Amino acid sequence: MSFPWAEPDVSPWDEETLARLSAPDRARLVRRWLEDPAVTIDWRMACDALCASEIPARDRSFLVSLLRRSGELPPSSPRLRVAITGTGTLGPLVDLLRCRLVAEGFSSDVHVGQFGQMHFELRKPEAFWPWREPPSAVLVGIDVGGVLPDRTGVDLPSDAGHVRADEALADLAEALRAFRSRYPIPVFVNNLPPIASGFQGVHEGSDQRGTRPLIGRFNEGLAALARSEPDVFVLDLCGLAAELGGLRFFDARRWYYARMPCSYDGFTEWACEAASAIATFARGPRKCIAVDLDDTLWGGILGEVGPRGIELGQEGLGLAYRDFQAELRRIRRQGVLLAAASKNDPPMVDQVFEQNPQMVLCRDDFVAMETNWEDKSANIRRIAADLGIGLDSVIFLDDSPQERSLVRWELPDVLTPVLPADPVDRPRFLRKLRAWRPLRSTAEDGKRTEYYRMRAASRAHAEAHGSAAAFLLSLRQTLQFKRVEPAELPRLAQMHERTNQFNLTTRRLTAAELADLLNRREFRLYIGQVSDRFGDHGHVIAAVVRVLPGAADGPDPGGVWEIESFLMSCRVIGRVVETAFLQELLREARRSKARHVVARFVPTERNTVAAAFLAAHRFERIADARDAVDGGSTWRLDLETPLAAGPEVVQVTSLAASRDAS
């Protein structure tokens, strides 16, 4: 008799096996898998494992050439176009960036410009791009040699050293603004790594005319530029070079013979950082970190040693665990939701939070705590469902390789990284974890945990109230509906970046694009703020409408309103808020004498919750040429149809009419 699981698992690709090996051994093993014709290549894992600066250069270039010859993710993988321009020779970035984007789950076309042509390529980019459509992102690679050729200020008076840095930054800023005035595409530009100064010895730290102060001044100016320019992001090459060390990051031979600003290792780190940032822009950051408790948040098994017996303190491993908690708290404050999934008794866990003075995280830092004796995968599923987020928005951290393997097997969409075996390495691991980092932060981020706790409170309230209608009524929801003003643009852009589920068209409109639409007469941007008895949820729903003009004697003299974008934060799904918002939007359309409203739904893997929305609100399906292009559907509503009375569950205040009709 043969058991079904007696069949050998043909795929050897396994993160845990790779993580246990040294870099050269890992490279050897992955190469063996890549060269074995019987093994299907897992390109994501191959690129993630081999395209790293710890791996021998020989194996990296083997992978790069294999990828160039034959590798691709499945055709259904999302595809990005990236244009690279800059000072210095940036050719090596092309293949490395492609590799790292594969590790992030994207296929890509990467094109690099000509040497020394950055200023021209930023002002007239379409002359250099090989595509008809603009790219998804632009990577600007600058180096000290290209941007600060006079790298010290020794010829200037001692208090004028900064002039050189300011002029160099102004040059770059002008080129970037010229580019962005024509193309509202995200730009990723690196800051400058510090190089050997012109001064030695005691003056290094005190004389303002040295290279290092100049570079520091330039980098500060660049940071300020990124803060003021929407969709310009700074890659911290300075930090990467410090991590790698100057001796490994720079290579004199590459500079003098090829004008390359860094070594192969340096380019690899650069590509990792750039790919991570571009991927985050394309699909949004992960929203929730679910953690195990025992031997992850503290040392030891709580059930065996009790709340005061766990390893958590001011020295040694206990301090490492405290720092791990501190890093998690820092991450939570930047808008990430924290949840716990642990095999423990809830009263014991409560005692740790209440009684152990060394705990850094407190109970309120967590929006969900699944402490029971069930399978971790079931707990994670429940956490994601409770929070209303997809499994692909979750990161799971657990010290046990067996638990991690199980979760990876059952929930492949959850990111389950290999936590370093030694607790002292884990705080640094958290600092380097990129998957949760959003590109932009808003004031709402600090409050996100609070919003979700409110939501949990309201659900507990729901359980007490029985029927859905009674529950919704008891919430006493209000919606404030208004036209978007400039102050709301960052939040609107953030919603476009992050919202995946209740999103009709999933258009990732950037802050710059939205600012542009705000100024154009034929676009209307609306945003809604929702409150209920538990508190203020903030801005959670929005729509972008294009008003197509109508001919005075045609069928639509008042024009047609087309909904370009309609999205709602997952934290208010299921409360009929979207209906209230849509009805207010339709009232606006009627007020402006439009006769029809058209909307499209473009299905993705994540937005099925919004699929029935238009039909449910009496839109009718019509034919449209775009349906064949993106697999979507087009719908139309005749505004002559009387509007249904607003749902009594939401009290709507509209501030839209107070703005001058334009």
Number of residues that make up the chain: 662
CB of 66 to another protein, least distance (A): 8
For another protein, which is the closer residue by CB, 59 or 564?
59
Write b or e for each residue in 553-585: b if 16 or more Cβ atoms lie within 10 A of its Cβ, otherwise e.
eeebebbbbbbbbbbbbbbbebbbbbbbbbbbb
For another protein, which is the closer residue by CB, 62 or 523?
62
For another protein, which is the closer residue by CB, 254 or 595?
254
CB of 263 to another protein, least distance (A): 8
For another protein, which is the closer residue by CB, 31 or 79?
31
- Whether residue 613 contacts residue 503, with contact meaning beta carbons closer than 8 Å, is answered with no
For another protein, which is the closer residue by CB, 49 or 472?
49
CB of 61 to another protein, least distance (A): 5
Residue 456, Cβ density class (10 Å: 0-12 exposed, 13-18 middle, ≥19 buried): middle
Q: Give 44's Cβ-side CA count (13 Å radius).
A: 10
Q: How far apart are CA 479 and CA 481, in angstroms?
A: 6
Q: Which two tokens stand for residue 645?
A: 């009375």
Q: Which two tokens stand for residue 639?
A: 């505004």
SS3 of 490-539: the string is: HHHHHHHHHCCCEECCCCCCCHHHHHHHHCCCCEEEEEEEEEECCEEEEE
CB of 441 to another protein, least distance (A): 39
3-class SS of residue 446: helix
Nearest to 98 by CA among 121, 78, 80, 74: 80
Nearest to 108 by CA among 131, 88, 142: 131
- Which stretches of the chain bind another protein, using CB under 8 A? 24, 27-28, 31-32, 56-59, 61-62, 64-65, 68-69, 89, 91-92, 253-254, 257-258, 260, 264
For another protein, which is the closer residue by CB, 131 or 257?
257
CB of 132 to another protein, least distance (A): 28
CB of 100 to another protein, least distance (A): 18
3-class SS of residue 470: helix
CB of 59 to another protein, least distance (A): 6
For another protein, which is the closer residue by CB, 30 or 368?
30
- Whether residue 152 contacts residue 144, with contact meaning beta carbons closer than 8 Å, is answered with no
In sequence order, what are the beta bridge partners of 654? 481
CB of 27 to another protein, least distance (A): 6
For another protein, which is the closer residue by CB, 8 or 37?
37
CB of 337 to another protein, least distance (A): 43
Q: Which two tokens stand for residue 393?
A: 């928005």
For another protein, which is the closer residue by CB, 61 or 400?
61
DSSP 8-state secondary structure symbol assigned to residue 574:
T
For another protein, which is the closer residue by CB, 57 or 154?
57
Nearest to 100 by CA among 30, 51, 60: 51
CB of 254 to another protein, least distance (A): 6
Measured in whole angstroms, the distance separating CA 159 from the mean position of its chain's CA atoms is 42
DSSP 8-state secondary structure symbol assigned to residue 75:
T
- Whether residue 122 contacts residue 85, with contact meaning beta carbons closer than 8 Å, is answered with yes
